[in-house]
A and B are shown apart, each in its own frame.
Chain A
Amino acid sequence: MGIAELSLLLVLGIIILLAIGVPLGFASGFLGVLVAYWKLGDRGFFILGQRMYDLTIEHALLAVPLFIFMAMLLERSNIAKDMYDSMSVWMSRTKGGIAIVTSVMAMIMAAMSGIIGGEIVLLGLVALPQMLRLNYDKHLACGTICAAGSLGTMIPPSIVLIIYGVVTETSIHSLFKAAIIPGLLLGFSYIVYISIRAHLRPQDAPLPELDFEVTLRDKIIALKGLLPPMLLVGAILGSIYGGITGITEAAAIGCIGTLLLITLRGEMSMSLFMEALQRTMRSTGTIMWVTFGATALAGAYSLAGGPTFIAGLILGLDVPPMGIILVMMVIFLFLGALLDWIGIVLLVMPVFLPIVAGMDPADIGLLGNLSPSHVSVWFGILFCINMQVSFLSPPFGPAAFYLKSVAPPDISLADIFKGFLPFIGIQILVLMVMMMFPEITTLLLH
């Protein structure tokens, strides 16, 4: 059996194993064991353990449990709800106001934490009932919550970028800088889309009927609710971009800040603290063991010469460099609909990134001004935008399942996925812009 047959069998194997309900991490780990045995016999198993060991002592990965812990604390506090209420006061006379507030709130929360599950659940609990009460179109409401909620892994700090940085040995700091413009661009595109839709089809986003006048005084008092989240964003992003701390330490500072705020607000209790810790442990275990399994498979597969084989296939396509990148993006979109993003980073990046890094920077983008040292940063950003699509794309788009878990029963999964369509369109548009003009991502890098 050659490497070509092996690659085909692996794709088939992962699909079958996932279909019979084997957990993703163990399915890929199991295939890793088979590949290692096929290549080296039982001596090959050493590689699996060694790759696991390298990941367990990786310092940058510590940001993962810390950001999860922070998200778990925020979820149990009313900080997010107060922020939502105060912004609603400001936007109460704007068409599509509540949906815009939801997007802005999602962007602020994205700048506090780097994971999406908690963010979408929270928005589903806080913003969805409001929008439905005002008779918003349910597709628009679901789409806004999930698309904006997914920005958690696009706007820094972002766990996707942290793991991409660890796997590809790219500076996470540079990735975080490069992600600012694309992240904000995505968020503002959603807002523009919502306002255009609210103006063209007012029945989709009706204005609330207020029985009182909102005065300037009310608006200024309402700003109070914005203060705690802004403090947190300032502490975390300030520490990172100000060069005061590394990313892991910034995550720790974010946790401390959240604990302080919760205590000051009188919401702190022993059971809140312990429940947050225990849920952090559960989520950390879930994420890390997917990573362990994927790293085992990636290690065994590259030992068997897989990456070289795939690289040869792609380079043999005889298309210009941008055509190759386009093919890669399509592969990401396809895999993203089926696999978890961690699996994709670990399995596909070792194959794709060397190909992209080997291209002449003059051939990348329409202008060709990308500096060679920034290629891996730019590709990471493209990947990150791609994963935004994967959170929303059926059949497994996780954002839909997070929202479904808190949505009223009359909103079906099909409704939720239908609401995603325009937002997926926007994401692909932004992806194309970033692909054509890589310079945008590196604007802040100097």
Chain B
Amino acid sequence: MPTLDPSGYLWVASLGGLTLFWMFIIAPKFVPMLSRGLHGAESPPLTFVDHVTLRISSLLMFVVAIIMGIMLFEVIMRYVFARPTIWVEELSRWLGGVIFLVAGLYAMQQRTHIRVTIVYDIINRNAQRVMDALGTACICTFCWAVSWGYWENAMRKFSTWELYGSAWNPPIPAIMKPLICIVCVWMSIQAINNLIVDWRRDAPLAPPEDV
């Protein structure tokens, strides 16, 4: 991991500050996922875990717009100014990876992961609770196995700050590999949270209408 000089600390601190400012002050007023109920009128109160997932998503959802923007920049630089950039392709790859991983957490919080509910819909509520518990066990097994098996490699890449080995050379392996482990662990936490929230309800939470 690279060492930071004082101005580097200032950068990191101000970026972190801005992120928190967005997540706690601005986003709750303007971002629909935070300012409105998620499941219509019968929206359950959000737990701490839901809050973390939603606040992170309320920031990272803009990544798609950023990717769109930098790609337009690249096309303009290439054709109008004949000066193609070296960083757009790699930055978009990097940001894309982040969104692919974190979007899964948001989808989990919203209960929109693709599942077949033909049997689930016709059995009684207690059997549904058992099925939910089994499903959560599957999710946790998968997520923990991935983080467990990948942790050592990911930590090595992080501590040696492995770079991508390209022209612009961003630290993609050093960041993305640990991120996979972190997202997987949080995915299992979100799944357990969903299980607890749904367990107490008389009817399972349906995904939002506009999927």
- Within B76-107, which residues are at the interface with A (CB < 8 Å)? 79, 89, 92-94, 96-97, 99-107
Contact with B along A42-60 (1 / 0, CB 8 A): 1111111110110111110
Contact indicator B211/A282 (Cβ below 8 Å): yes
Interface of A is mostly: helix
Neighbouring B residues of A30 by C-beta, 8 Å: 138-139, 141-142
Neighbouring B residues of A289 by C-beta, 8 Å: 104, 107, 113
Contact indicator A282/B106 (Cβ below 8 Å): yes
**Residue B30 is within 8 A (CB to CB) of chain A in the complex:** yes
**Residue A436 is within 8 A (CB to CB) of chain B in the complex:** no
Known: A57-B172, A59-B96, A61-B100. A256 touches B181 (CB 8 A): no
Contact indicator B101/A56 (Cβ below 8 Å): yes
Neighbouring A residues of B149 by C-beta, 8 Å: 36, 42-49
The distance from the CB of A255 to the nearest CB of chain B, in whole angstroms, is 5
Contacting residue for B67 out of A66, A244, A282, A285, CB 8 A: A66
**Residue B180 is within 8 A (CB to CB) of chain A in the complex:** yes
Neighbouring A residues of B116 by C-beta, 8 Å: 18-19, 21, 24, 396
Contact indicator A255/B68 (Cβ below 8 Å): yes
**Residue A166 is within 8 A (CB to CB) of chain B in the complex:** no
Contact indicator A24/B103 (Cβ below 8 Å): no
**Residue A69 is within 8 A (CB to CB) of chain B in the complex:** yes
The distance from the CB of A238 to the nearest CB of chain B, in whole angstroms, is 13
Contact indicator B134/A281 (Cβ below 8 Å): no
Contacting residue for B96 out of A65, A275, A296, CB 8 A: A65
- Docked Cα-Cα span, A337 to B23, in Å, equals 42
Neighbouring A residues of B153 by C-beta, 8 Å: 46, 49-50
**Residue B9 is within 8 A (CB to CB) of chain A in the complex:** no
- Within B149-164, which residues are at the interface with A (CB < 8 Å)? 149-150, 153-154
Neighbouring A residues of B92 by C-beta, 8 Å: 59, 62, 248
The distance from the CB of B68 to the nearest CB of chain A, in whole angstroms, is 5
Contact indicator B119/A19 (Cβ below 8 Å): yes
- Docked Cα-Cα span, A18 to B119, in Å, equals 9
The distance from the CB of A416 to the nearest CB of chain B, in whole angstroms, is 16
**Residue B189 is within 8 A (CB to CB) of chain A in the complex:** no
Neighbouring A residues of B107 by C-beta, 8 Å: 281-283, 285-286, 289
- Mind listing 21 A-B residue pairs with CB under 8 Å? A21-B116, A22-B138, A22-B139, A26-B139, A27-B138, A33-B141, A49-B154, A52-B146, A65-B100, A245-B75, A249-B75, A253-B72, A274-B30, A274-B31, A281-B60, A282-B112, A282-B211, A285-B108, A286-B107, A289-B107, A405-B209
